[in-house]
Amino acid sequence: MAHIPNDRKYTKDHEWVASLGKDTARVGITDYAQRQLGDVVFVELPKKGDAFEITEPFGSIESVKSVSETYMPLTGTVAAVNESLNDEAELVNSDPYDEGWMIEITFTKPAELDGLLTAAQYEAYIKAESAE
């Protein structure tokens, strides 16, 4: 089973959100998502200052199997981008919850956090998705 840390929230699009303070969060893809993708070879990320609405695509991940979009888990502005992924896209596979993070955002609608899944809810969701 995929590793699912309890200290963050999740989306049904397999992104995770870790709070960094009052209105900032770090975003990446889950262990489950990186396993489904296979070996990641390229990550396309937005620029610092880019603004996105919730569920809007903010980048893409290219693996040996496919290209998948990444979706904004909360409405907000990109505050930082993980530049390490430009040269080491495989960090998404080897360490999706730490070194493989993608962006940091300043979110503008805190109420949207309530719509994200807890670790237990996300685990139940991927179990149900895998059973289909």
Over residues 60-81, the mean pLDDT reads: 97
Mean pLDDT, the chain, integer: 96
Residue 101 pLDDT: 98
Structural domains for the chain? 12-127 (2.40.50.100)
What is the structure's pLDDT at 70? 97
Tell whether the model's pLDDT for residue 94 goes beyond 80: yes
Give percent above pLDDT 70 in the chain.
Answer: 99
Closest CA to 105 of 43, 25, 28: 25
pLDDT for the residue 131: 82
Instruction: Name the phi and psi angles at 11, rounded to 5.
Output: -115, 165
pTM for this entry: 0.95
User: In the predicted model, is pLDDT for residue 1 greater than 80?
Assistant: no
**What is the Cα–Cα distance from 1 to 93, expressed in whole angstroms?**
15
Contact 42, 56 (CB under 8 A): no
Give the per-residue pLDDT at 103.
98
Residue (of 113, 85, 90, 112) closest to 18 by Cα position: 113
